[in-house]
A and B are shown apart, each in its own frame.
Chain A
Amino acid sequence: MNPAARRWIFLVAAAAMLAFYVWGLAGLPAFGHYRGPYGYLVDHITIHQTHATGVVSAVNFFYRGFDTVGEEFILFIAAVGVATVLRALRDESENGGRGADESGSGRGAAPTSETVRTVALVYTGPVLVMGWFLTTHAQTDPSGGFQGGVVMATAIVLVYLGGEFLVFRRLSPVDVTETVESLGAGGFVMVGVGALATGASYLADVLPLGSPAGAVDASGTIALISFFVGVEVVAAFVLVVNELLEQTLVIRSRS
Chain B
Amino acid sequence: MILAIHAVVRPPAPLWSMTLLEVVLLTLVGAGAAVVVSARHPVRQIVLLGMYGTVLTLLFFSLQAPDVALSELCVGAVVLPLLLVVGLAKVKGKQQ
Q: List chain A positions with a Cβ less than 8 A from chain B.
A: 19, 22-23, 25-26, 28, 30-33, 56-57, 134, 142-144, 146-147, 150-151, 153-154, 157, 161, 237, 240-241, 244-245, 247-248
Q: Is the interface of A mostly helix, strand, loop or mixed?
A: helix
Q: Say which residue of B14, B87, B93 sits within 8 Å of A244 (CB atoms).
A: B87
A-B residue pairs in contact (CB < 8 Å), sample of 20: A19-B1, A22-B8, A23-B1, A25-B4, A28-B12, A31-B12, A57-B67, A142-B66, A143-B67, A144-B67, A147-B71, A153-B74, A154-B78, A157-B78, A157-B82, A237-B79, A241-B83, A244-B83, A244-B90, A248-B90
Q: Say which residue of B5, B74, B83 sits within 8 Å of A154 (CB atoms).
A: B74
- Would you call B18 and A151 a contact (CB within 8 A)? no
- How far is B66's CA from A57's CA once the two chains are assembled, in angstroms? 12
Residues 39 to 70 of chain B near chain A (Cβ within 8 Å): 66-67, 70
- Would you call B14 and A26 a contact (CB within 8 A)? no
Q: How many residues of B contact A (CB 8 A)?
A: 27
B7: chain A residues at CB < 8 Å are 22, 25-26
10 shortest interchain CB distances as A-B pairs? A142-B66, A26-B7, A26-B4, A150-B74, A244-B86, A32-B17, A142-B67, A248-B90, A147-B71, A22-B4
- Would you call A30 and B86 a contact (CB within 8 A)? no
- Would you call A22 and B5 a contact (CB within 8 A)? yes
- Would you call B93 and A23 a contact (CB within 8 A)? no
Number of A-B contacts (CB under 8 A): 74
- How far is B8's CA from A32's CA once the two chains are assembled, in angstroms? 15
Q: Say which residue of B3, B17, B75 sits within 8 Å of A26 (CB atoms).
A: B3
Query: Quick one: closest A residue to B1, CB to CB?
Result: A19
Given A32-B18, A248-B90, A142 and B70 contact (CB-CB distance below 8 Å): yes
A150: chain B residues at CB < 8 Å are 71, 74-75, 79
A247: chain B residues at CB < 8 Å are 86, 90
Minimum Cβ distance to chain B for residue A139 (Å): 13
- Would you call B86 and A248 a contact (CB within 8 A)? yes
- How far is B4's CA from A245's CA once the two chains are assembled, in angstroms? 47
Minimum Cβ distance to chain B for residue A154 (Å): 5
Q: Is B21's beta carbon under 8 Å from chain A?
A: no
- How far is B87's CA from A28's CA once the two chains are assembled, in angstroms? 40
A134: chain B residues at CB < 8 Å are 70
- How far is B67's CA from A176's CA once the two chains are assembled, in angstroms? 29
B5: chain A residues at CB < 8 Å are 22
Q: Say which residue of A26, A147, A237, A244 sits within 8 Å of B67 (CB atoms).
A: A147
- Would you call A146 and B4 a contact (CB within 8 A)? no
Q: Is B89's beta carbon under 8 Å from chain A?
A: yes
Minimum Cβ distance to chain B for residue A17 (Å): 14
Q: Mark B1-32, 1 if CB is under 8 A from A, else 0.
A: 10111011001111001100000000000000
A22: chain B residues at CB < 8 Å are 4-5, 7-8
A248: chain B residues at CB < 8 Å are 86, 89-90, 93
